[in-house]
Structure 1
Amino acid sequence: MDLPTYAFQRQRFWLNSNVSAGDPAFAVEHPLLDSVISVPDTGGVLGTGRLSLAAQPWLADHTVSGTVLLPGAALVELAVRTGDEVDTSTLRELVIEAPLVVPDEGVVRIQVSVGEDSGSGDRPVAVYSRPDDAEPGTPWVRHASGRLSADVPAPAAMFGVWPPKDATAVNVTDLYEELIARGYGYGPVFQGLRAVWRRDDEVFAEVALPSGEVDAAAGFGLHPALLDAALHAGAFAQPHGSDDEDGGIRLPFAWSGVALHASGASSLRVRLTSTGAESLSLDLADGEGAPVASVESLVLRAVSEEQLRVSGGAGGGDALFRVEWSSLAMRADADGDGVGGVEVLEVPSAVVDAGAVREVTA
């Protein structure tokens, strides 16, 4: 067959575009992060992402007093995953300063900043957000800050014997109904507590993701719903009703010594130990008893509905802080009797001003 004397005809069906979709070298495969980019002048990294109920519908199953919040466990996941890019994935400390509200509609843009190595291997970390449609110059709200470390602590002993010896089974049938009545709106994805046992001051539990979320676990270091469900066992470590003591319900406030030993778990064996009125520690293992993660300390803090409303926008950065009076030891006088060193100063002025006060007290 003779070839035609004209050039072969062809037709393109691909769209021509000069608009960059971003550098694929910075893209990460993570359900909450889109990319992690390096910061040249600090040697740190910046993780970015977008949160919405359309993109992450499972977040709708985590509400507090009717408000959808990003779980504190998700802030931990964000910090650890971003820090992993610079080999600092152990969370020495993460203080949650304000809950991150996920709106019913719209998108929240997040940034996770991991800073310069301090010289000891530690790096600062912070998580920020602002609405995706915010005007230029709109300030970012800082939701959490802390430190990451390259040191990975040795995992706790494996839970090879399960259920633990001498532990007493506890009925968990009505737990989620009780929690909903107290303001914790856990939907199916977060109702992961399956069984609980108690032994002295230790609480043991089994938690698991629902079948529809099991495949998603592979994308996380530790799925936030799974870690959050492990915390639900804390309801059996202290008397019911303590959540209302300060006029609010308790949320994670300060995480310390969080280390991830294995990733992608969809079920856990949990050992939870109460370490104080507002604190606990956790050891987490997989279904075979192999270590998955450990939390040296988690401090909980009471939050009111008003604080949750304030935290939904800029300026809510102190929503979980509170003012307290601290007592000071008084110094005894020379005779060892009573309080010494106290002098009453009078300002001889009909109109007290700063200058008059400074002259007397100086």
Structure 2
Amino acid sequence: TQAALFATEVALYRLVEHYGLTPDYLMGHSVGELAAAHIAGVLDLDDACTLVAARGRLMQTAPAGGAMIAIEATETEIRDTLPTHHGHLDIAAVNTPHSTVITGDHHAAHQLATTWRNNGRRTKQLNVSHAFHSPHMDTILDDFHTTAATLTYHTPTIPIISNLTGQPATTEQLTNPHYWTQHLRHTVRFNDGIHHLHHHNVTTYIELGP
């Protein structure tokens, strides 16, 4: 799935590029940021494919039995309820001001989602094989970093909005294997990224993906 997403996103970008599209910014969502990094010239195609393939392969070796559930709640609301599930759950993504994805142990995730449903909030379990961006990924971080450290990185030619910060990624971040390792594990701050673009007068967005 990781490789298919990457290939689809890059191919769609090349298509619109052929018709004259020149973006002011790039932003991905999870593995989509690797596609953005390739498009911006941070990684050539061979190195980008190497990193995406390692990411997908290693994720499949992570512990099974996890769950990811989108909840109609703010990040703050969710974080306030996480301490009772310490070490078992984390926030995978903050997609909108009121849509937050939890990730981690199956039982803990469903227990927390049930609490929110009982309070009248909508929830939706994601169709995923593993609990991505959760403590379940901790076992693969060293191996992923080892692969990332073998690649050659370049200064981006198009600004990339970072999933880790929701702000423009620096060259130092994008060319550091540690950044991509943390990117695999930590929260996708998509809402913060959109917020940043909005406040910098971005008015037109094109989504390129399946």
Give TM-score scaled by structure 1 length.
Answer: 0.21
Structure with more strand by fraction: 1
Answer with 1 or 2: which has the greater Rg.
1
Quick one: higher RCO (CA 8 Å, sep 6+), 1 or 2?
Answer: 2
Structure with more helix by fraction: 2
Give TM-score scaled by structure 2 length.
Answer: 0.31
